[in-house]
Structure 1
């Protein structure tokens, strides 16, 4: 496990280096910093508390963590897709955003729901097998 952590840490640092080198090429860093600050505020001020409250209100027992994890993933996917979802319609240049983003966002949400349901089902079956009949 220690080797895996070291390798993942090294990969993370390498990716951070790539990101930093890409930031060095940006001429107007103010817009990027505002966007990053907005992402932090949106996550910590809205998504995080909503996920915790929804997990607390909707789910009891061992499934709460799984549901909260799914809500975090769904929230992150939604935040990333918001600019495209809020500005639907034709664009002057069809090659700029050539995909059907609302449909793809719905597919991603369905995939998150399906994986969550599968994980809950696997946990439920494992619990049933462990408990004496």
Structure 2
């Protein structure tokens, strides 16, 4: 699972380390979005999505990922787009929406290859393999 953004600007290694309230994170994301701070909005929505994936609330995770993706796209943050596309792949795969999952993985792979992001490539190839199992 991808890293989770924490309020202090650092990242924790997994969603279990961050016990934040999902609804609070979503509200913060909405406030940042309204104020034009699209990076902070995207980070909050993505963090909420990861926590939701950990708690197996995959539909809500998809919604948060899509909101994060929209904000990363507004600012052209390719790494954020790739990370969120990977997270969407996992959520869609868990919902049995394999075509959507494959599409998200392929998007992430293209960006990770461009950025020469080896960890992201490895994670995404693994995620793609899981989709095909």
Task: Establish whether TM, by shorter chain, passes 0.5.
Answer: no
> Hey, which of these two has a bigger chunk of helix by percent?
1
TM, length-normalised to structure 1: 0.24
Structure index of larger Rg: 1
TM, length-normalised to structure 2: 0.24
